[in-house]
Amino acid sequence: IPVPDEDRPARKSFRPAAAPAEAPKKAATPRAKEGGDRRRSGKLTIEQLTGGEGGRTRSLAAMRRRQERAKSKMAGGGERERVVRDVRIPDVITVQELANRMAERGADVVKALMKMGVMATINESLDADTAQLVVEEFGHKFIRVSESDVENVIVTDQDDEGALLPRAPVVTVMGHVDHGKTSLLDALRKTAVASGEAGGITQHIGAYQVTAENGAKITFLDTPGHAAFTSMRSRGAKVTDIVVLVVAADDSVMPQTIEAINHAKAAGAPMIVAINKCDKPTANPDKVRQNLLQHEVFVEKLGGDVLDVEVSALTGKGLDALIDAIALQAELLDLKANPDRPAEGAVIEAKLDVGRGPIATVLVQRGTLKPGDIFVVGEQWGKVRALIDDTGARVKAAGPSAPVEVLGLNGTPEAGDVLNVVEDEAKAREIADYRQRKARETQAAQGSRTTLDQLLAQAKAGGPVKELPIVLKADVQGSAEAISQALEKIGNEEVRVRVLHSGVGAITESDVQLADASNAPIIGFNVRANAQARESANQKGVEIRYYSIIYNVVDDVTAAASGMLSAEIKETFIGYAKILQVFKVTGAGKVAGCIVTEGVARRHAGVRLLRDNVVIHEG
């Protein structure tokens, strides 16, 4: 007889105790698959991101935090132990970068700053003191570093004497443009070509090497005059060992010759005088030697210590003697360098080639430069793709005193920038970025050059004013000599005035280069600076003062030297105009028809009339 279910006795179960718990698990699985709760599904779909399924969605960051909490519970349930880190703090650091270095959340760092009363966003910069307080707040250790420490990776150690090997001398040829400098360079190049070779040497770069008869090598720099020479010196690159001063025997000492002498003296390089054009019937080498005495250049034939050689670039006379004189001077200098170290060199010139990109002509000074080396040069960096010598051939390495073209830069450097090989690309980028920032800061800070007012302030404050350098340009030679003599008499036990260069004519870009390199103001007596010089002076912050009375020059410089400079009267130039035509008007006399080339022209403004940048009238 069938018994109803409710009347049957309960049957004893022989299943394991865990069996009844499996039924709800099996029932829960299909519900999850049917999409009951998206937040617990563990997947982030496109539909959820776009909000297509409707309802509240959880962010990816929230889901990751949930997963991290689940992992920590599986690992043991407790919070992970805080790691104390050494945090390097530079002079300035952003909030985000500080958070990254501490391995903390950016939002937590912002909250900590708010508690300190500092309202800052994640991208704002903090000074070192504030950053230090934040690091201490989070329980980490701080290490204060300077931003300039990024350059510490550059190897600047002095080499051991045992590692030094003889190197070729680096010679710069300077002189007046019409005295045969280029002809002498060409003649020296031709003497280095074997008789069997055809076509001579093709000059590819602004520097080249010649080999003397005894096998010794000499590196010549073919720079465009002394302007580039001084520009390199102003950036701290001492590239020249010896200066060859070319003076024409039939023309003697000229203004640019004097300028070259002053540049060579300022650089502290030994000088060799090459008296050129000795094949001409009007040549008078003894007159050249006598004229050089007036500029404190004492040649050997007159009992001095400056080597002098009579040469002729046209006939080849004396060229061997000139090379011997250079070799002798180099032997006295005992020039040595270590080729087995990271390369270091100076940029002679740089250009942007359409097909090959930025190219720099580099004179290697220490170490050996090879393809594949990573380097930083000035505000640029790069990796050596190729090295090309002065004959246009690719070379596998360039040692000390070797001039080469370097390919592989990310930008065009400036003449005089120093090239240093570093370990890796990251360090090169970091150094280049730091230098670019410093350059922007320097450019923003105006008036960085020495002015007479700054010298006054230093004198009143008891600052170390030992020497006041001056660059002087005048309208006539007599005025230049008179002012130079008057200025050099100024001085006392603590201060003396030194006229670096005095010349005749307009203030040129070369004068600005010399003043920039020597941190000196320029004084113009009845002369003005040309447009290029004015622009260069504004860029470099070089002070130019104009005078028309000698006593005012002497008084101002005396006051600056003694620390009693009175308030100055400054002239403000509002414009420049060019006279196109002069015509007569009845009742008014002569009238100049002008076109304004710079600035503005206003009524009742003072006017100076210049011819070849020399003042001929004031009104």
| Bridging pattern class, strands 125-127 and 380-388 | unpaired
My answer on whether 436 and 521 are in the same domain is no
d(CA 382, CA 359): 11
* In the predicted structure, residue 374 carries a pLDDT above the cut 90: yes
Using one digit for the tens of pLDDT, what is the confidence trace for 349-358? 888 777 888 8
Average pLDDT of the residues in 120-144: 88
Which of 396, 425, 444 is at the close of a domain?
A: 444
Q: DSSP assignment of 227-253, as one string?
A: HHHHHHHHTT----SEEEEEEETTT--
Question: What is the DSSP secondary structure assignment for residue 2, as one 8-state letter?
Answer: P
My answer on whether 513 and 543 are in the same domain is yes
My answer on whether 393 and 417 are in the same domain is yes
Q: How confident is residue 566, by pLDDT bands cut at 50, 70 and 90? A: very low
Among the listed ranges 14-28, 278-292, 304-318, which one has the minimum average pLDDT value?
Answer: 14-28
d(CA 592, CA 581): 6
| 311 occurs within a structural domain | yes
Q: What are 542's two structure tokens?
A: 């070089």
My answer on whether 286 and 359 are in the same domain is no
| 488 occurs within a structural domain | yes
Q: Is the pTM of this model over 0.85?
A: no
Using one digit for the tens of pLDDT, what is the confidence trace for 35-76? 445 455 555 565 555 555 554 556 777 788 888 878 777 765
> Within a 10 A sphere around the Cβ of 125, how many other Cβ atoms?
14
CATH classification of the domain holding 351: 2.40.30.10
pLDDT at 228: 52
Q: How confident is residue 169, by pLDDT bands cut at 50, 70 and 90? A: very high
My answer on whether 460 and 377 are in the same domain is no
Contacts of residue 566, defined as CB under 8 A and 6 or more positions apart, other chains included, come to: 559
> Within a 10 A sphere around the Cβ of 394, how many other Cβ atoms?
12
Average pLDDT of the residues in 181-189: 79
Average pLDDT of the residues in 587-615: 83
E strand spans, 157-230? 165-166, 170-175, 207-211, 217-221
Average pLDDT of the residues in 422-429: 87
Q: Which of 148, 150, 149, 153 minimizes the C-alpha distance to 421?
A: 153
Using one digit for the tens of pLDDT, what is the confidence trace for 385-409? 999 988 888 999 999 999 999 999 9
pLDDT at 349: 80
My answer on whether 544 and 581 are in the same domain is no
My answer on whether 324 and 184 are in the same domain is yes
| 500 occurs within a structural domain | yes
My answer on whether 378 and 412 are in the same domain is yes
Query: For residue 537, what is the enclosing H or E element?
Result: helix 531-540
Q: What is the number of structural domains in the chain?
A: 6
Helices (H), 174-306: 181-191, 225-234, 255-267, 285-293
CATH classification of the domain holding 512: 3.40.50.10050
d(CA 316, CA 562): 54
Helices (H), 106-214: 106-115, 128-137, 181-191
Q: How confident is residue 459, by pLDDT bands cut at 50, 70 and 90? A: low
Hunting for tokens 């004492």 — which residue is that? 298
d(CA 308, CA 185): 17
pLDDT at 146: 72
My answer on whether 222 and 328 are in the same domain is yes
| 105 occurs within a structural domain | yes
> Within a 10 A sphere around the Cβ of 80, how many other Cβ atoms?
9
Query: For residue 578, what is the enclosing H or E element?
Result: strand 575-585
Return the bridge partners of 210, or none.
218
| 323 occurs within a structural domain | yes
pLDDT at 562: 66
CATH classification of the domain holding 297: 3.40.50.300
My answer on whether 221 and 324 are in the same domain is yes
CATH classification of the domain holding 127: 1.10.10.2480
My answer on whether 107 and 248 are in the same domain is no
308-329 residues labelled b (16+ CB within 10 A) or e (exposed):
bbbbbbeeeebbeebbbbbbeb
Contacts of residue 344, defined as CB under 8 A and 6 or more positions apart, other chains included, come to: 364, 365, 366, 367, 418, 419, 420, 421
Question: What range does the domain containing 48 cover?
Answer: 19-75
Question: What is the DSSP secondary structure assignment for residue 32, as one 8-state letter?
Answer: H
CB 109 within 8 A of CB 98: yes
Looking at per-residue confidence, does 144 or 226 come out higher?
Answer: 144
Looking at per-residue confidence, does 429 or 14 come out higher?
Answer: 429
| 569 occurs within a structural domain | no
d(CA 75, CA 494): 76
Q: Round the average pLDDT of the chain to a whole number and report it.
A: 77
Which of 515, 535, 562 is at the close of a domain?
A: 562
Hunting for tokens 């008014």 — which residue is that? 588
| 2 occurs within a structural domain | no
Provide, rounded to the nearest whole percent, the portion of the chain with pLDDT above 70: 75
pLDDT at 46: 54
d(CA 79, CA 240): 66
CB 257 within 8 A of CB 291: no
Q: What are 543's two structure tokens?
A: 């002070």
Amino acid letter, 372: G
pLDDT at 197: 37
d(CA 87, CA 143): 6
CA-only gyration radius of the chain, Å: 38
CB 341 within 8 A of CB 367: yes
| 307 occurs within a structural domain | yes
Which of 303, 334, 365 is at the close of a domain?
A: 334
My answer on whether 466 and 537 are in the same domain is yes
